[in-house]
Amino acid sequence: MTDDAELVASSVHEPERFALLYDRYFDDIYHYLAARLGRENADDLAAETFLIAFRRRTDFDASRGGTFRPWLYGIATNLVSQHRRTEQRRLKALGRVSVEYALDGHEDQVTSRITAEALRPDLVQAMRDLAPGDRDVVFLSILGGLGYDEITQALGIPSGTVGSRLNRARKRLRRALGGQIDPTEED
């Protein structure tokens, strides 16, 4: 079995040698990412981990006492952090989106806008607190306007899973908003 450091070094001139490192460590990195962010994100981020490692393979320095596997985990951990920051920025942006209502009169619009503005921070925080899979289902339902069957196709998950995720998310969001309002309900 060829040493990791030798494979990294030889891959500089023979890039196909890097595939041996990919084969050796992909499952470990995938399982780590799946545990951190869920399986739905793990495939892409595991692939991105190896892409970054391949592009930066000349930065790997085995003489500093490091080994390749922990170096990969470092890259993967940085990607987890980036992923979470991106998701948080999206949720913050959602919290700033102006609320549009099709209401009868000006008074109804003003009342609804004030209510929505007051609830927005609680709603955004509740969305942040949802599990990523639950959040995806809510976003696809509300923002994408997709029904159960379409969400099933979009996420590649069973219809029952869509239903249970949406139900769980509705309960948590309703509870976060004082139990009176279901933000996932259509008017």
Q: Which of 124, 31, 40, 120 is nearest to 76 (CA)?
A: 31
Given a cut of 60, whether residue 163 has pLDDT beyond it is: yes
Q: Any idea which residue has 């996932």 for tokens?
A: 184
Low-confidence winner among 3-12, 71-80, 113-122 (lowest mean pLDDT): 113-122
pLDDT reported for residue 186:
47
Q: Which of 21, 40, 61, 46 is nearest to 133 (CA)?
A: 40
Question: What residue type is assigned to position 165 of the chain?
Answer: R
* pTM of this structure: 0.52
Cα–Cα distance measured from residue 95 to residue 87, given in angstroms and rounded to the nearest whole number: 12
pLDDT reported for residue 90:
74
State the DSSP code for 9.
H
pLDDT reported for residue 55:
96
pLDDT reported for residue 185:
54
Share of the chain above pLDDT 90, in %: 24
pLDDT band of residue 154 (cuts 50, 70, 90) is low
Encode pLDDT of 19-62 as tens digits.
999 999 999 999 988 887 888 889 999 999 999 999 999 998 87
State the DSSP code for 56.
T
Burial class of residue 46 (count of CB atoms within 10 Å of its CB; 0-12, 13-18, 19+): buried
User: What is the average pLDDT across 75-104?
Assistant: 70
**pLDDT greater at residue 8 or residue 94:** 8
pLDDT reported for residue 110:
46
Distance of CA 135 to the CA centre of its chain: 9
pLDDT reported for residue 187:
42
